[in-house]
Structure 1
């Protein structure tokens, strides 16, 4: 079949091809350039001993997040450990993206953006839960950090922690023996994790045209992303009855205050709509 002049232009001069669309405010698929692709999720995708799980599609990225939980006496260790399953890669870009995603999630966990330490206390105050989040990357063609934050939030909203029975006298100062701990088998008595700020990450790609005008691109096609030198990731969280707040901001390159305010506005609306979707039970 003959190649159309538009297809040929995309092949020969992708910069000119995309600049024409961006100038018109739409991507080739008809989506507005500052409108993110829908966030879609399915919870409870992994059975067995896991505490919670979710498959999330965000932008061009698909991840599965599986949570497992273990009990320990109260301590100051990290509340959550993170693993990448089968993520050995020689791709420099993906390696960098994995590092960025882990750094962002670690920062949000440390700042108690997903949950507080108190939320992981078991019903017996002497024991607390520690979570392990295992991520499996199924498809990568977009911003990994934002999808990983979304995957973790969806899996946490699926999680249930068992009721604990501890046969260890309150005044007994000896270490707790695992044999003294029993777990409630009836899952209907298990409890959800109280989430603190429901963080949602939005990554904007900044495109500068020939007139030096900066455009915000949300989930651009991978070829269009290659034409951009800077991006900005904004994580918005919101506690109940409080205004939304910026929990993290990562930026390469600079932009005007006006553009930043626009990004924050879009990110806040997006956080609200994703959290509303997660609050509905499938």
Structure 2
């Protein structure tokens, strides 16, 4: 009976639960779902990880390829992220070109990488104006159940920390490179940005770590990205407004979550 009620009146179904200060899955408003991180999941990638937040599951694979630096930035390499939201992960997505949501979230991930400065693009340069590394970072969502950006950023940090680039000797006189696949150097990851998503329900109730059902019914959504104690990025794509006090409260809740996420990443990397 509850399933039929939820299907016919989803908003009222949630309001009935929230009026008793609990969510349909039994969580408090500021309670986060369990998190799992597994690294080195893909043997054919230069770095990889799988992150699971609740049921939301994202695979991140990184492939390093040679490229020529841009003329305007001759001493920098490249990072190219891409998020796929296939029909496999949710009925809301259809086969074909990337959806608008996938493109928006891909750009958000690119902004997070840039703003957090977790990777110094200059360290990806092998020889100025001639040769550099390009890191293609592909995310594939296997199960879309809310807070997908949080899972993407978590899998990204796990995958980046497993990247080992081969040493390269380059002779510009003859445009020749010598790649030593046996001698690999760990990628220098300068920081660990952590993403936390909140939604606004009925313009007044703030819920942490939303499910897909909660995101579909929300009147607003905000993603807080922290780089240590530093606020790295706030993504608020319209919807209900947050007061300054409510925004600061979201930031504080995100900060309290940081130690557990950082410990999870370190535990996953322990045997790498």
The alpha-carbon distance between structure 1 residues 84 and 226, as it changes in their structure 2 partners (threshold 3 A), is closer
Structure 2: runs of 5+ lacking an equivalent: 88-92
Identify if the C-alpha distance between structure 1 residues 12 and 185 changes in structure 2 by more than 3 Å, giving closer, same or farther. closer
Mark the CA change 1:37 to 1:86 in structure 2 (over 3 Å): closer, same or farther.
closer
Q: How does 1:162-241 map to 2 (within 5 A)?
A: 162-166=166-170, 168=171, 174=173, 177=175, 180-186=176-182, 189-208=183-202, 214-238=204-228
State TM-score, norm by structure 2.
Answer: 0.81
Other-structure match for 1:113: 117
Which of 49, 52, 69 is the matching residue for 1:54?
Answer: 49
Alignment of 1:276 with 2:241, yes or no, is no
Structure number with greater Rg is 1
Q: Which residue of the other structure, out of 251, 254, 268, is the alignment partner of 1:264?
A: 251
Query: Structure 1: how far apart are the matches of 2:68 and 2:212?
Result: 47
**Partner residue, 2:90:** none
Structure 1 residues 91, 257: CA separation in 2 closer, same or farther (over 3 Å shift)? farther
8 Å CA contact 2:62–2:137 kept in 1: the answer is: yes
Distance in 1 of aligned mates of 2:209 and 2:247 = 17
Conserved 8 A contact 1:60-1:143: no
Gaps of 5+ in 1: 239-243
More strand by share: 2
SS in 2 for 1:185: strand
Number of aligned residue pairs: give it.
256
RMSD: 2.8
The alpha carbon displacement at 1:115 in A equals: 0.8
* 1:80-117 deviations in Å (ceiling 9; x for gaps): 1233458485389x823212211112212333532112
